Amino acid sequence: MAAFCRIKRSHFLFSRSLKQFLNLYTQNNNTQIQNPFIKYNLFQFSSTPTCQKPQNFLPPLSLEDSRIVDKLVHVFTERLDTSKSEELDELGPKITTLIVEFVLKRLKSWRIAQLFYNWAKNQSGFSHNCHTFNLMAECLSAARQIDSMRMLVNDVIKCQCYFTPRALGFFIRCLSNQGLVKEANELFDHMQKSGLCVPNSFSYNCLLDAISKGGDVGLIELRLKEMNSYGWQLDKYALTPTLRCYCNAGMFENALVVFNEMREKELVDAHVLSILLVSFSKWGKVDKAFELVERIEDLNISLNEKTCFVLIHGFVREGRTDKALQLLDKMRKMGFVLDISIYGVLIEELSRNSEIEKAMQLYEEMNDSGVRPDIKILTDLMSCVRDERDMIRIVEERYESLELKDRMLLYNSVLKGLINNGSTDKAYRLLCASTGLESGGDFNKDNPFSMKELVCPNTISFEIVIDGLCRADRLEMALSLFRDMDHIGCKRSVLLYNNLIDYLSRSARLDECYELLNEMKQSEFRPTHYTYNSIFGCLCRQGDDAGALALVREMRVHGHQPWIKYYTLLMQKLCKDGQAVKASNFLADMVQEGFLPDVVGYSAVIDGLIKIKQLDKALDLFKEICARGHCPDVVAYNIMINGLSKAKRVLEAQGLVDEMMDKGLIPSVVTYNSLIDGWCKNGDIDRAIVNLTRMTEKEREPNVITYTTLIDGLCNAGKPNDAMRLLVEMESKGCLPSRVTFMALVSGLCKCGKPDIALTYLQEMERKEMKPDPYVYIVIIKAFINNLNPKEAFNVLEKVVHDESLQDLNGKDLSTLKEAILSLLADPRTSSNVKILLEEGHFTALCSISEIG
């Protein structure tokens, strides 16, 4: 045995040295071995395996060894306890690797095989070789014993057993089959670095195949570089897993590069094409997949049936029935026999998309080709068919051949189809006729379904029709049908109660909602969170906080949560009616009942309190929700910051901004706009500008409100030139000034004694077809008068005398205009012109001539 190992070791070292010599020779001499015979034989010698992968036929055994094999198989298959066996003690010293191979081949159970493997491993003087390791790997891999496979890898590493390249490749494939890519890669590196194996292209290809399944692009590219460094040409078995790896990683540009390389080398076959096509479909690249399908004819490759089926399912999953149908047409031309799964998936999707004509065409094709549709296909069709004649025909063709349970499904699908078509009355009459109830119509005339007498409707039938009646606003008919269920002995359901309560609550029929709720409590049906919240929503829409709170208490007892959207609606309604304090009390009561309201509800109340000038109470509530573990969102902070800013408590608002940033919340444009407006109104334009800078630093793009607020603030601070520069900056950044922006600038320039410049911006507004408010003209007129330029003031006045909006002036603006007219009338340079306007009656709606004097 020792001599045999020495021979193997010598062969291995020589083969590795020979291969290294060949590589060094070609590198140093920059040449290749020209004699193909010598080159071939040297390579074969350097990589010829001394241990191949497990073979189906093993070398013959001697008679004695055969007896040992039989005994071992008998002991391990017939005896449960092998820990204490004199027979095994006697056989242990006699085993060889060949005997172990034969035994492993004959053992049918992986557990027994593993038991025998471990027993053999512990025998004195015995070591497993690549044959036995591979047989055990094959057995465990087939049984999907991943943990045992990992233990086997550790055994291989500890054993320091020599492996041939092909034996290593086989072991790696066993690992790969169970997704043990990491273990396969580590074993490969260990065998290579320790000199226990000199991997060849077969070993590498097996490793590439393993890596490809995990989609580790970096690792597979590293192994490809290693192969290239050995001077090996990448063949089909190296490029195919590389292609798969790129596809699994979604790197389709790289995958196409590999595919084109394989095409140039004429290595592309149906399997390679299938990998690329299926991956395109899997990643939603339907158009690329179909484009490749179109190019198949140029490659002289035929798609197989399985690939086509996978592609059609993938196309449908991505909602591309157009491409799925085109591929279906190609399958017909290729002579494939279409099965029910293909028809089923296409008809289901076409029905969902209401592509009725196409769905019916496929149904007719099924009939013509002898493929019998199942009940799923029939019910899908019924859900979308609009022509009742088609519905009748399908029922007549298939009804008799269906089992009772499938007949029930078909019947219910007819009801659903009629309701989907808007024929709710016909569905109602069909149900009534099937149960013997009075429907008030001629059923035989309107619903000629031959199955009507053969089916007894079930609960689902009533659910379908009652829901249809509710959606058609036929609540009375729905309630009547619901009550009739008792007469025919049909069991009700929670869904029926919930639907009726929901639709009644939408119609604000609270008494009937509570009646059904009480009925549920007394029956076997327990009200659900949906039941309670339907009624809760109705109470909230009505602004009934007392009723809503009473229901919340009942919900708590039964372990149900009130829905956020409803109590938020209640908060908004109460606040809109000026009852923010009542809304705040409702939230406090919810907390007492054990429900912590959502921050959205609190935000609505805080906003309501601010609007009724209860700012301190709003701030207390804001702090309270923070103390209770709620983290207010940006919207809640914005409401509070805006309220404080408008109340000129800007320092507190600024503190809240700092607080929200400390909590990891990023202030929005709305946040900064509120602060900027607050600082501007507080007369601190410098701090407002600081916040504009912060916006830019935080990548918050200022909007038209930001710039308009700052332009107004700069003008109020006596910095008109800065305001005009800001307007230029605003336009340069692609933010177009609004009508309000121009009015703020015009008004601000007038306040700063620059009516001439203000007039140019007013004219720009007119060119942009922006109509200023009347006060803007009055401000300009007043500014020109103050600047002792009555002629320009009159020119503006004359221009706007026909403006009808001047007739609606009142209060301060009206007084200012009267003062301006009096001033111009008193000035000799403009008095005559003003008198003409007065005589023409232009200002009669504003004031009389006698009033002006």
Higher pLDDT, 649 or 286: 649
- My answer on whether 143 and 238 are in the same domain is yes
Q: Poorest-confidence range of 16-30, 134-148, 489-503, 633-647?
A: 16-30
- My answer on whether 241 and 334 are in the same domain is no
Distances from the Cα of 623 to the Cαs of 28, 51, 66, 637, in angstroms? 79, 77, 87, 11
CA 459 to chain centre: 35
Of the pLDDT bands very low, low, confident and very high (cuts 50, 70, 90), residue 441 is: low
Residue 5 has pLDDT above 50, yes or no: no
Residue 8 has pLDDT above 50, yes or no: no
Q: Is residue 532 part of a domain?
A: no
Of the pLDDT bands very low, low, confident and very high (cuts 50, 70, 90), residue 844 is: low
Q: What is the rounded CA–CA span in Å between residue 745 and residue 677?
A: 15
pLDDT tens string 429-440: 988 888 877 655
Q: What is the CATH number of the domain that holds 319?
A: 1.25.40.10
Q: What is the rounded CA–CA span in Å between residue 694 and residue 680?
A: 16
Q: Is residue 385 part of a domain?
A: no
Q: What is the rounded CA–CA span in Å between residue 727 and residue 723?
A: 6
pLDDT tens string 186-231: 999 999 999 999 999 999 999 999 999 888 899 999 999 999 998 8
Q: What is the rounded CA–CA span in Å between residue 779 and residue 773?
A: 11
Residue 540 has pLDDT above 90, yes or no: yes
Of the pLDDT bands very low, low, confident and very high (cuts 50, 70, 90), residue 290 is: confident
> Which of 208, 230, 265 corresponds to the end of one domain?
265
- My answer on whether 307 and 253 are in the same domain is no
pLDDT at 55: 47
pLDDT at 464: 95
- My answer on whether 166 and 254 are in the same domain is yes
Residues 603-613: what's their mean pLDDT? 92
- My answer on whether 132 and 258 are in the same domain is yes
- My answer on whether 253 and 279 are in the same domain is no
- My answer on whether 294 and 176 are in the same domain is no
Give 245's contacts (C-beta < 8 A, 6+ positions apart).
208, 211, 212, 215, 216, 217, 220
Q: Is residue 783 part of a domain?
A: yes
Distances from the Cα of 217 to the Cαs of 58, 61, 202, 213, 255, in angstroms? 39, 47, 20, 10, 11
CA-based R_g, the chain, Å: 43
Q: What is the rounded CA–CA span in Å between residue 559 and residue 532?
A: 11
- My answer on whether 132 and 231 are in the same domain is yes
CA 560 to chain centre: 29
Of the pLDDT bands very low, low, confident and very high (cuts 50, 70, 90), residue 51 is: very low
pLDDT tens string 690-744: 999 999 888 889 999 999 999 999 999 999 999 999 999 999 999 999 999 999 9
Size of the chain in residues:
853
Helix (DSSP H) and strand (DSSP E) numbers for the chain: 49, 0
Where does residue 664 fall: left (phi above 0), alpha (psi -120 to 50 degrees), or beta otherwise? left
Residue 59 is given by DSSP the state: P
Q: What is the rounded CA–CA span in Å between residue 121 and residue 836?
A: 123
Where does residue 769 fall: left (phi above 0), alpha (psi -120 to 50 degrees), or beta otherwise? left
Q: Is residue 144 part of a domain?
A: yes
Element (H, E) at 26: helix 2-28
Give 543's contacts (C-beta < 8 A, 6+ positions apart).
570, 573, 574, 577
pLDDT tens string 504-516: 999 999 999 999 9
Q: Which domain holds residue 816?
A: 777-852
Residue 14 has pLDDT above 80, yes or no: no
pLDDT tens string 578-587: 999 999 999 9
- My answer on whether 234 and 201 are in the same domain is yes
- Number of domains the chain contains: 3
Whether 743 contacts 776, CB under 8 Å: yes
pLDDT at 30: 42
Q: Is residue 797 part of a domain?
A: yes
> Which of 307, 325, 340 corresponds to the end of one domain?
340
Burial 387-426 (b: 16+ CB within 10 A, else e): ebebbbebbeebbeebeeebbbbbbbbbbbbbbbbebbbb
pLDDT at 58: 65
Distances from the Cα of 484 to the Cαs of 431, 461, 524, 737, in angstroms? 11, 13, 18, 67
Distances from the Cα of 306 to the Cαs of 84, 209, 270, 277, 568, in angstroms? 53, 22, 11, 12, 54
Residues 52-79: what's their mean pLDDT? 77
Q: What is the rounded CA–CA span in Å between residue 399 and residue 417?
A: 16
What number of other Cβ atoms are within 10 A of residue 39's Cβ? 13
Q: Is residue 156 part of a domain?
A: yes
> Which of 265, 290, 313 corresponds to the end of one domain?
265
- My answer on whether 180 and 281 are in the same domain is no
Average pLDDT, the chain: 85
Residue 443 has pLDDT above 90, yes or no: no
Higher pLDDT, 242 or 298: 242
Higher pLDDT, 348 or 387: 348
User: Tokens 């330029």 correspond to what residue?
Assistant: 789
Whether 275 contacts 240, CB under 8 Å: yes
Residues 330-334: what's their mean pLDDT? 87
Whether 461 contacts 431, CB under 8 Å: yes
Q: Is residue 808 part of a domain?
A: yes
pLDDT tens string 619-677: 999 998 888 777 888 999 999 999 999 999 999 999 999 999 988 899 999 999 999 99
Q: Is residue 302 part of a domain?
A: yes
- My answer on whether 322 and 196 are in the same domain is no
- My answer on whether 209 and 293 are in the same domain is no
Q: What is the rounded CA–CA span in Å between residue 315 and residue 300?
A: 24
Residue 35 has pLDDT above 70, yes or no: no
| pTM strictly above 0.75 | no
